[in-house]
Amino acid sequence: MKFGTRIIHNGHEVDPHTKAVGVPIHQVSTFNQDSLDHFGKYDYARSGNPTREALEETVTLLENGTQGFAFASGMAAISSILLLFSPGDHLVVCDDVYGGTYRVLTTLFSRLGIDVSFVDTTSLAEIRKAIRPNTRGLYLETPSNPLLKITDLAGVAGIAREHGILTLVDNTFMTPYLQRPLDLGCDIVLHSGTKFLNGHSDVICGFAVVGDPGLAARIGFMQNSFGAILGPQDSWLVLRGLKTLKVRMEESQRGALAVVDWLCRQEKVIEVFYPGLATHPGFSIQQTQAAGPGAVLSFTVATIELTRRLLEELTLAAFAVSLGGVESIISYPAKMSHAAMPRDEREARGITDTLVRLSVGLEDPGDLIADLDRVLNR
Ligand SMILES: *Cc1c(COP(=O)(O)O)cnc(C)c1O
């Protein structure tokens, strides 16, 4: 079955008990047990809840994994998964990693004795150079945030296998509709489901999906022990949002391509970052490892004043943190996603004061362009 069919016919399209054409919200914390000798499949809802389980199975199916785990936020998923590592371990992390991931690595996990090197992972040679005898994980985002840099996932997975290292990929920007890291040989896929997976800017959630059953058992233990699980109401909302993932991604990407084409022709736009541009250094890798460039782009403009006007005066894009909603969202990485990064670190990574990130929603692309034109060129 093709992706579009699997989203809808995900094994949970009919409730077996009532024949309802949807998953019930099991708003409970505990489950009655019939026998002292045999406890049922569910005992306590931190360990398992049928609504959350339906969502976990659906995301696993879409990522071609064997098991998936839903968490209370993307950061809860990422932080829980980082508990796979121990004091003395070293991680190689892409250098424009999500600001929250940067923060948790450099302030919390560093205290627990986990050492990190931030590396330009677009270069496999740089990754090889950064690997030490105690390196246990390679942590990637591709396209990265906010500069949309592309890392060769199959290439990295090959290096990781040579060294017996885990490859972790934050797949938030692409979603499994456009890119499936497990198919490319990576070990763990992470998501902020808050973004495109849920897609409606009304839930905070996160996921981890794996292929290896041994790894799945370890993560299941951590999810239950650490306890940062997603609740049943939110699980249901994400199940609902996921049903339109394919059409939302297709339409948002179509809009992004139109906006990028227009931005590239504007005098006041200095540089456009989008992996769908033939001039993007990662263009050909993106074409081989993903089904499209996605719906997020970044660009720099001529002045700080113009940057401010774009953020404050666009009417069709919310000026907000986040991305991947049905509404377009414009954000300012320097003070939003990367506020946790020291200024010199941030500027060294190219996240300057005139950089804005645009997540293209489902508005008509012509209307979005007219709105941008009004603010940029008035
Ligand atoms: C938003 C985001 C996160 C964090 O997810 P939350 O759901 O906000 O905790 C992690 N990675 C990426 C790429 C993100 O965009």
Q: How many CA atoms lie within 13 A of 317 on its CB side?
A: 36
| 89 and 13 in a common domain | yes
CATH number of residue 255's parent domain: 3.90.1150.10
Length of the chain (residues): 378
| 286 and 164 in a common domain | no
| 181 and 39 in a common domain | yes
Confidence (pLDDT) at 111: 97
Catalytic residue among 15, 42, 46, 183: 46
Question: Is residue 292 within 8 Å of 360, Cβ to Cβ?
Answer: no
pLDDT at 218 > cutoff 90: yes
**Phi and psi for 170 in degrees, rounded to 5?**
-85, 110
Dist. CA 145 → ligand 1 center (Å): 10
Catalytic residue among 95, 96, 152, 170: 170
- The domain in which residue 278 lies consists of 245-376
| 226 and 275 in a common domain | no
Domains held by the chain: number:
2
What is the overall mean pLDDT for the chain?
96
pTM of the predicted model as reported, rounded to 2 decimal places: 0.96
Dist. CA 287 → ligand 1 center (Å): 24
Q: Which of 186, 219, 242 is the last residue of a domain?
A: 242
Ligand 1: lining residues by beta carbon, under 6 Å: 73-75, 98, 100, 141, 145, 170, 172, 192, 194-195, 204, 206
Dist. CA 192 → ligand 1 center (Å): 4
Residue nearest to atom 2 of ligand 1 (CA): 192
| 228 and 264 in a common domain | no
Dist. CA 173 → ligand 1 center (Å): 9
User: Strand order in 206-210's β-sheet?
Assistant: 67-71, 206-210, 188-192, 166-170, 135-141, 90-94, 115-119
Dist. CA 27 → ligand 1 center (Å): 26
User: Which of 79, 80, 98 has the most ligand 1 atoms within 8 A of CB, as the residue to mutate?
Assistant: 98
Taking alpha carbons only, the member of 151, 149, 102, 143 closest to residue 125 is 151
Residue nearest to atom 8 of ligand 1 (CA): 74
| 137 and 45 in a common domain | yes
46 given a catalytic annotation? yes
| 172 and 252 in a common domain | no
| 23 and 143 in a common domain | yes
pLDDT at 342 > cutoff 90: no
| 367 and 231 in a common domain | no
Q: Which of 242, 264, 287 is the last residue of a domain?
A: 242
What is the tens place of the pLDDT at every residue in 13-67? 999 999 999 999 999 999 999 999 999 999 999 999 999 999 999 999 999 999 9
User: Which of 195, 238, 351 has the most ligand 1 atoms within 8 A of CB, as the residue to mutate?
Assistant: 195
What is the tens place of the pLDDT at every residue in 245-269? 999 999 999 999 999 999 999 999 9
Q: Which of 242, 263, 298 is the last residue of a domain?
A: 242
| 139 and 14 in a common domain | yes
**Cα gap 286→90, rounded to integer Å:** 28
139 given a catalytic annotation? no
User: Which of 75, 93, 151, 201 has the most ligand 1 atoms within 8 A of CB, as the residue to mutate?
Assistant: 75
373 given a catalytic annotation? no
CATH number of residue 182's parent domain: 3.40.640.10
| 194 and 140 in a common domain | yes
| 215 and 329 in a common domain | no
332 given a catalytic annotation? no
What is the tens place of the pLDDT at every residue in 78-119? 999 999 999 999 999 999 899 899 999 999 999 999 999 999
